[in-house]
Chain A
Amino acid sequence: MSEISEPRTAGGAWLVVAASAVGSVVALVNLVNDGNGIAWSFGAWLVLVSSLLVVVAGVILALHLALSGWLRGVLAILLLLGILGTGAAAYFLTAWILLVAMGVALVGWVIHVAADPSPLD
């Protein structure tokens, strides 16, 4: 295990933020757009909230907010669960754009973990 260090870049986290922000907008549209088959459903609310939580978590990581190394690690793991969970929910809701957004967010997360900081150290 290496020493805690400031990340060299936050590109991956920002990609997570961007993708999940798009996903949140899509989830909001899905929620209110009557006639799409899922409007106002529990599932539509769920993915809206989870998308927003992913945005928040991504922002925290991207802005290097004062978190200890283990908290950043925990947050990164929760972020992954949020991305995967939202993606799975999007799949069952047949919300394909949201699913793609979460796919992009997952790429961002991988970049964040592999190339940005060392969130788990």
Chain B
Amino acid sequence: MNKLRTAATSAALALVFAHCAPAFSQDAGTAGQTPPQEQDAAEPQAGSTGETAAPPTGDAQPAPAAEDTAGQDGGTAQKPDDGQTAPQLATEPTKGGGSVEHPAGDGEAQAAASGDGGGEAPAVKADKKPDAWMQDQNSWATFNGDLMAQKYSPADEITPDNVGNLEKVWEYHTGDVSDGSGDLPYTVWSATPLFVNNTLYIGTPFYKIVALEPDTGKAKWTFDPKAKLEALTQPALKNRGVAYWQAESPEQGQPCQKIVYIGTMDAKLYGVDADTGKACENFGQNGMVDVNQWNTVNAKWPLSLLQAATVYHDTLFLGWAGKDWTDAAAPPGTVFALDAKTGKLKWMFHALPNEVISRTGTSNVWASMSVDPERGLLYIPVSSPSPNYYGGNRKEELPLATSVTALDTDTGKVVWSRQLVHHDIWDLDTDAPPTLVDIKKDGKTIPALVQSGKQGFLYVLNRETGEPIYPIEERPVPKSDIPGEEAAPTQPYVAKPEPVIPDQWPGVSALADAVGFGECSARAAKYRYDGRFTPPSLEGTIAYPPTTGGTEWGGGAVDPNTGIYVVNSNSVVQIYTLVPRKEFEQKSQEGETSGYYAQGDAPYAFKLETFLNWAGMPCWKGPYGMLAAYDLKTGERLWNEPFGQVQKYGFYMPESWGSVTIGAPVITKSGLIFIGASMDSRVRAIDLKSGKVLWKALVDAPAVSMPAVYTYKGRQYVTFAVGGNTILLPKVADQVVTFALPK
């Protein structure tokens, strides 16, 4: 039976991997159609993404300050809709070659930006503290549960002993779903519901906001911005939730003392009264801020607002997603700080120096961010620069690219930055929010952060300074053999904590090789592979981990009391092949460029393929997805278990094979992990101590999100948004489902 299962597993995995290549990155989009809109705003109801070349310095990078102060120009401004235009901005340099813009004449902002507030090593600041409303232990107030991205709930009603009794208490269907068969692009829904203000808020892939009663799932109101439902920058309609803000002292009877925000693919940010669902007139223009007004450099596509904003005091921090596969010069990475009440720009951070933006772009922040509320620091995961796989035209040091960087929340200035991949030519974006936690180690309490990433390393850093708590060493890595390319001679390497994936690619699957009559081993022998960070090549390079990760945008969760950190990961092999421009153009004329990416006018286009045999079976050994727990106090891995099951044609494959995962875990005080993420359309509760599955339930599609855990009227609830992702399974859904113990 095992052999039968193995064979069936391999076959079942085939199509999964065949389609998972571009979807983990900020992918080129395809045109969609604008559908008819359905509901009016606030109508009561009954019922990059994913996205570097520098000789390494190795150490924590209080990066060199940039000399240039000029604003970024040279691009074609994309006019925003609705008459919103950018005010005059003043630019100041910051560390790492970055810069910060703020409204000219804004004395307060200017003083803050040029004053002592930015760029200094921060200690706990007397005037900094968490927002009081966010401190409610019963709530799930942000995308990651809290600002520190711990994904931790102090709720303890549901325990390892009683979790087996968990039952579904309600489900709600948003109606916002598309399998791509009609006029609309397919939907990818990875929203985390927020529970705050006694209401469950969730965003949909049609960019609506739905407010639900937390115990019954009955809709309170729905806000429909009537957004363009077109695949402008992504191949699918995507949403990763909403953000919530409330005034420190809300005025009774006044609207918009509490606001829920949602962004759209075409760069519009809407602010809606959290109690009524009506647009906040004072937020931007009639409740909308067009972020594209600041998209003025290499403005080839809109700055898609797919990830919920990060809210701290009265400021919204916004990153964006785009397409980093198609162009060389692209919109350069920016993070916006907006006034939560008015939508006015406070500051705008640029990760790339002005000199390079005619040749590169992105290095944006498309994943969520975290904040140390007591130090006033914003931690941003910065992605790789464009084009993704050839850096011959961007050989300058770009210290902030593919980095984790700490910004001063008041000024936007870089406090410290650590580059995680030098001269990134693998699309190894820093793709998840750093998890902030205080670690008790060697008798000291260290303010730390844990940064996961596509390369499968876990960087444990002092979050005040960026210095490693566990060593990060610079190791020599293979040279590029591509004319014009200069791979970095060394790359940062983390041995402890042990990486989430092995150092070497898993090797050829005997079964897939047999089915392919030796195809897998023959191809593997032909490809270039010299270990981690083998550069893309003309003959094809085995990339492990490739752009799929490693770890994806969900990142990990931590129990702040014990320092136990949990993270899910993927083990996927892809082939990176550079294609000379002339050859690519020839293929283009012949219509043979499926799976190819132009990379703008770079000397090389790029071909990305997942390593499969003729039958579509993965040529490498499993398992394909894992869930692991680490003790941050010692850096030791406590357990590492295959997670989830592959499902294909309805058939479930052995648990020992694991599943590629998209989503993130949540930890509760009682010692449970709640997680969806797997392709078998199941959500699970796992024992934090052992990694064993204690409970699982079937849902409508893969729950490619992280759950929200909250307590309402004394009862603990676990809510999943179940939306599916066609790279896992050709199954999409619009289900919000909540579980609790029987009353």
Contacts and interface: CB of A to CB of B under 8 A. Distances in A.
A44 B650 contact: yes
Nearest to A39: B650
Interface stretch (B1-9, B542-550, B627-635): B1-9
Interface in A78-121: 88-89, 91-94
A92 B649 CA distance: 10
Contact of A94 (B1, B652, B700): B652
B172 to A, nearest CB: 15
Contact of A93 (B4, B5, B652, B698): B652
Contacts of B653: 92
Contacts of A93: 650-652
B405 interface: no
Interface residues of B, number: 15
A94 B653 CA distance: 10
B681 A89 contact: no
A47 B1 CA distance: 18
Contacts of A88: 1, 4
Nearest to B4: A88
Contact of A37 (B4, B8, B681): B681
B649 A36 contact: no
Given A88-B4, A92-B5, A38 B700 contact: no
A43 interface: yes
A41 B650 contact: yes
Contacts of B681: 37
A42 B650 contact: yes
A68 B681 CA distance: 49
Interface in A23-43: 35-38, 41-43
A75 to B, nearest CB: 24
Given A37-B681, A92-B5, A43 B649 contact: yes
Contacts of A38: 650
Given A88-B4, A91-B1, A92-B5, A43 B698 contact: no
Contact of B698 (A36, A41, A91, A92): A36
B4 A41 contact: no
Contacts of A42: 649-650
Interface in B263-322: none
For A36, A44, A46, A92, the residue with the greatest tally of chain B CB atoms inside 10 Å of its CB is: A92
B175 to A, nearest CB: 16
Contacts of B698: 35-37
Contacts of A44: 650
B742 to A, nearest CB: 21
Contacts of A41: 649-650
B738 to A, nearest CB: 16
A41 B652 CA distance: 12
Contacts of B652: 92-94
B679 to A, nearest CB: 11
A93 B681 CA distance: 13
Nearest to A34: B700
Contact of A89 (B1, B651, B682, B700): B651
Contact of A43 (B5, B650, B680): B650
A19 B709 CA distance: 45
A37 B700 CA distance: 7
Contacts of A36: 698
A43 B11 CA distance: 13
Contacts of A89: 651
A41 to B, nearest CB: 3
A6 B277 CA distance: 79
B619 to A, nearest CB: 22
Contacts of B650: 37-38, 41-44, 93
14 contacts: A35-B698, A35-B700, A37-B647, A37-B650, A37-B680, A37-B681, A41-B650, A43-B651, A44-B650, A46-B649, A88-B4, A91-B1, A92-B8, A93-B652
| The 6 residue pairs across chains A and B that have the minimum distance between CB atoms | A41-B650, A43-B650, A92-B651, A42-B649, A38-B650, A43-B649
